Structure 1
Amino acid sequence: MAPFSIASTIREIEREVGTLSPMQKILLGTDGSVTAILENVLGCRVEVATLLQRIVPADEKVAADLDIPEGEEVNHRIVTLNNGDTGETLMYAVSDTPLSRLDPAFRQDLMRADIPIGRIMQMHRIEARRELKEAGVVVADTELSRIFGIYRHEPLLSRKYQIINRGKPLIAINETFPYGTFADDTRVIVEAPARIHMTLIDMNGSSGRVDGGIGISLEEPTIVLEARRSEEIAVHGDQESAETVKKTAGQVLPAMGVNGGAEITLRHTYPRHAGLGSGTQLALATARALAELYRRPAPGSAPPCTREIAALAGRGGTSGIGTAAFESGGFVLDGGHSFGASGEKNDFRPSAASRGIRPAPVVLRHAFPTDWQILLATPTVGAGVSGQQEKHIFRDHCPVPLGEVQALCHTILMQMLPGIVDHDLDLFGSAVNTIQEIGFKRVEHSLQPPLTQELIAALRSTDAACVGLSSFGPTVYAIGDTGMIEAEHAAKEAMGGCGGTTVLTRARNRGAEIRTA
């Protein structure tokens, strides 16, 4: 086996996540004390916070790493290294140490919760060397995102090494830190939520208004993108999503009076045209990141509001649910647009064909119960309706009968909204099931392929309180407080040989989040 090369590994890491700063390269490749490096560079004392420490039998992997018999006792320690002045978490470290190789004084200090390993070794004058085993990129899960104050799916840099004493591994250590930490330039990171679009409300227009909609913001899936200044516009990541981001950046930067460009990296996305609003979230996240990156409208002034960002990005011209999900999350009801000869709209069009029309106003926003689980099932039946096909559907199927619009409004007002406010899942679920059969949602259901219809039928046979189609699909959602694991199994079985994905999530009662690193 070829010896480990940190130089070539760093080149591979840079191809995966982007350029590393000299400090990041040093932290990944050093054979000295990370604690000492951090203290010298930051000019502060590094403090340890112990998250977990216990004596455990070595499993097969730990035994192999430490060259000890499986089952031998090791001290398993999980700590964070923190900036002693600010409290910022700098590093997450997991270590395993065989007790049989420790003298009593070293062991006593190691078992204390407040001393970095490098400092313990210095105190005891232990002569040792560090042998780097591997380095790479890991993706932040819920726990690491909480520890570092970053978003899920952001990349972290990680390395594994051994401290060798007297020819034997004394300690095996795995250290991890965010890619955005110790970087040379400013980066703006945005996390934007998916949403369920439950239905458009009024596709009749005789009231003088049109559109309107209801929807729910979701914890998962999310879009995470990162932007930094550049001379040109460059986008890295999923190709289809990257096209939307590049187009949005090309519209937004000149509109904000910016002569420069941006390098934008898509750290996490979810499929386009699946009924979960990825196009709107990509566009809004891009515009919001660029506004923050270039401090528009002006340094020190308030950033543009979500509706202004949506206007810059050309989103929200039919449904305001995606814009509202980005702004505040939760359950949202929007009021549509004025309709007629002197209205904002004079015909029936989807959002993608409604550029230049302001986002619909939010009439009601309410926290959605987070103890109700939401199952998303997306069958592999090709992308949902979009483009010219979507325009033709609006043209051919609108206006819908006024009686259906009135029945839909009655169901929303007298069942769905009270169900949410009173935390009455049965009442809410009854409303969701009812609206699948009336108004424009009835049209959307009629256009689904057989597999999607079979998926809906399978989920309706479970204990879920309700089952619905998000936007034009193909994503189907089910909501319940019990039996949702069984519902997920039923969805997977229904999708069978054609395949598909499932996500079991909850409502997100907050909007998109942004931070600077």
Structure 2
Amino acid sequence: MAIMKIRGGDLDLVEYEFKTFAPGKNTKTLGLEKRKHALKPVKGSVMVRAPARIHLTVLDMNRFAPDHPGGGGIGFAIQCYCTAEVRCTAKGIAIDYNRAPIVRNFIEVFKKATGYKGGFSLKVTDHEHQHVGLGSTSTVMIAVATALNEAIGSPLTTTQLRHLIGHNYVEETANGKIAFGFETGVGPAVSIHGGMALMGDELSLVYHHPFAEGKNVYILIPPTDISSAGTQEFDLLMNKARTLDYRDRELKAYMFLMDLVPALERDDLKKAGDVIWEIEFRGSKRAEVEHHSYGIYHYMNLLRERKLEFVGMSSVGPSIAVVTALDRTAMKKLLKPLGLTIAIATKADNKGLVISRSA
């Protein structure tokens, strides 16, 4: 696997080797295996539905790496779902999902952490929008983790599940192998609780609150041939983005605490949108947007000029999230002269995980 260079300044250059490994061969149980867990496997199957996320920004990209989760950030849940159905079996692991290696890896982590000796049968579905900024991997993983946990009597807390996912966050590579990926913890947090969440470093959940209840969320995917995955994502996140966050991280933290949180408390969507628009030009978010060329700024600015309340690019893009009171007909009419179309029409999810059981 390639060795990638990380440059944060003239005297700040390190090398990171992306090491691939087979699922289950490089697990981090965080010491949970040392505790006694009361395991009570349930009869029948457990179904978990998890909302996807819009990841608005990382707080400081100098505080995370592919094998070191953190960095802080903010995002919100949307009514676009992944599901995991799990049944306990006597032995073995059966996975019905086209990205089986990432699921198998977490199952091995989970079994070691809890001491469970039996098997699992899983069926997983995702929202089928991969690598466009909607958090397909993190949403699937919190659905899987919660279903596994519920299936054996819920020995772990949601915080412990979030941390296990974060420290074992992987993406698939060639030949069925996996490699550690980037994880701030925003996705699992908003999937669990719904609404908008503010994360600190080391996967700490600082704040969460309902967001944009009753408003519409439109996901627009402007045309781009720039990749948001693999080595291109690494180059972006660990070089230019780090340099910009050295400069702007204090300002971003101030804006979150002093402007965004109060706006959420009083359900002021326009003020929240003004804060996020300012963030689009600050620190690592600027690097993410410019990664897709200035065309993304052009599109977002056109949307802002049409008085849409909340406009922001999700993760490393290219998806643009618009939150507004406009209905779909009015939104389509507004977008037509801009050359944009609605990829997904949905709403914010303020419920979080939904768990059900069947015989």
Same fold (TM over 0.5): yes
Shift of 1:211: 1.6
Output the CA distance in 2 between the equivalents of 1:329 and 1:267. 19
Offset at 1:410?
A: 3.1
Q: Is 1:234 aligned to 2:99, yes or no?
A: no
Shift of 1:215: 1.0
Pair 250,493 (structure 1): closer, same or farther in 2 beyond 3 Å? farther
Deviations 1:450-507 (A, max 9, x none): 76556434433433113110010121101222366433455577566xxx76222222
Letter in 1 for 2:117: N
Number of the residue aligned with 2:156: 304
Structure 1 equivalent of residue 47 of structure 2: 189
User: Is the partner of 1:235 in helix, strand or coil?
Assistant: strand
Q: Write the mapping of 1:4-403 to structure 2, written as runs, cut at 5 A.
A: 186-203=44-61, 211-218=71-78, 220-230=79-89, 231-237=91-97, 239=98, 241-295=99-153, 302-313=154-165, 314-315=168-169, 318-337=183-202, 360-379=203-222, 381=224, 385-397=228-240, 398-400=242-244, 402-403=246-247
Question: 2:86 aligns to what SS in structure 1?
Answer: strand
Larger Rg: 1
> d(CA) in 2 for partners of 1:447 and 1:509?
31
Question: Cα–Cα, structure 1 residues 222 and 467, in superposed 2: closer, same or farther, change >3 Å?
Answer: same
Asked whether the 8 Å contact 1:188–1:293 carries over to 2, the reply is: yes
1:426 maps to 2:270: yes
Cα distance between partner residues in 2 of 1:466 and 1:417:
15
Cα-to-partner distance string for 1:70-102 (whole Å, 9 max, x where unaligned):
xxxxxxxxxxxxxxxxxxxxxxxxxxxxxxxxx
Cα-to-partner distance string for 1:315-371 (whole Å, 9 max, x where unaligned):
49741211211321211111114xxxxxxxxxxxxxxxxxxxxxx111111221303
* Aligned residue in 2 for 1:14: none
Is it true that 1:417 corresponds to 2:261 in the alignment? yes
* d(CA) in 1 for partners of 2:51, 2:218: 15
Are the aligned partners of 1:235 and 1:263 in contact in 2 as well (CA < 8 Å)?
Answer: yes
Change (3 A) 1:493 1:234: farther
State the one-letter code of the partner of 1:228.
Answer: R
Structure 1 residues 217 and 416, CA gap change in structure 2 (3 angstroms): same
CA distance in 2, matches of 1:282, 1:401: 29
Amino acid paired to 1:221: C
Alignment partner, residue 18 of structure 1: none
Q: TM-score, normalised by structure 2?
A: 0.72
Change (3 A) 1:484 1:199: farther
Residue 255 of structure 1: CA displacement? 3.5
SS at the partner of 2:106? helix
Please give the secondary structure, in 2, of the residue aligned with 1:266. strand
Higher relative contact order (CA 8 A, sep 6+): 2
Distance 2:100 2:223 in 1: 22
Q: CA–CA distance in 1 between the matches of 2:259 and 2:352?
A: 25
Cα pair distance change 1:375/1:307, threshold 3 Å = same
Alpha-carbon distance between aligned partners in 2 of 1:450 and 1:438, rounded to the nearest angstrom: 14
In structure 2, the residue matched to 1:173 is none
Deviation, 1:384, is 5.1
Give the Cα–Cα distance (whole angstroms) in 2 for the partners of residues 450 and 493 of structure 1: 19
Task: Give the direction of change, closer, same or farther, for the CA distance of 1:233–1:273 in structure 2 (3 Å limit).
Answer: same
For residue 444 of structure 1, the aligned residue among 267, 285, 288 is 288
1:264 Cα deviation (Å)? 1.4
Instruction: Kindly provide the amino acid, as one letter, of the partner of residue 311 in structure 1.
Output: H
1:408 deviation in Å?
A: 2.1
Between the aligned partners of 1:463 and 1:487, the Cα distance in structure 2 is 12
Partner of 2:270: helix, strand, or coil? Answer: helix
| Structure 1 pair 242–366 and aligned structure 2 pair: CA distance change class (3 A) | same
Root-mean-square deviation (Å)? 2.9
Q: 1:203 to 1:250 in 2, by over 3 A?
A: closer
Q: Give yes or no for contact 1:377–1:502 (8 Å, CA) kept in 2.
A: yes
Post-superposition shift, 1:445? 0.4
What SS does the aligned partner of 1:479 have? Answer: strand
Q: Which residue of 2 aligns with 1:474?
A: 318
Deviation at 1:419, TM superposition (A): 1.8
Find the aligned partners of 1:383 and 1:282 in 2 and give their Cα distance. 24
Alignment length (residue pairs): 296
CA deviation after TM superposition for structure 1 residue 405, in Å: 2.1
| Residues 254-274 of structure 1: per-residue CA shift (max 9 Å, x gap) | 443333332211245332222
Indicate conservation of the 8 Å contact 1:464/1:483, yes or no.
Answer: no
User: What percent identity do the matched residue pairs reach?
Assistant: 27
Q: Distance in 2 between matches of 1:383 and 1:370?
A: 33
Letter in 2 for 1:233: I
Partner of 1:508: 349
SS of equivalent to 1:252: helix
SS at match of 1:399: helix
Name the CA shift for 1:474/1:199 in 2 (closer, same or farther; >3 Å).
same
Please tell me the residue identity of whatever aligns with 2:71: D
Question: Which residues of structure 2 form unaligned runs of 5+?
Answer: 1-42, 64-69, 170-180
Determine if contact 1:253/1:261 at 8 Å carries over to the other structure.
Answer: no
Aligned-residue offset at 1:198: 0.9
Cα 1:191–1:438 shift into 2, 3 Å:
same
Are 1:274 and 1:475, in contact at CA under 8 Å, matched by a contact in 2? yes
CA apart distance, 1:190: 0.6
Moved over 6 A (4+): none
Q: Which residue of 1 aligns with 2:25?
A: none
Q: SS in structure 2 opposite 1:365?
A: strand
Could you say if the C-alpha distance between residues 232 and 271 of structure 1 is closer, same or farther in structure 2, counting changes exceeding 3 Å?
A: farther
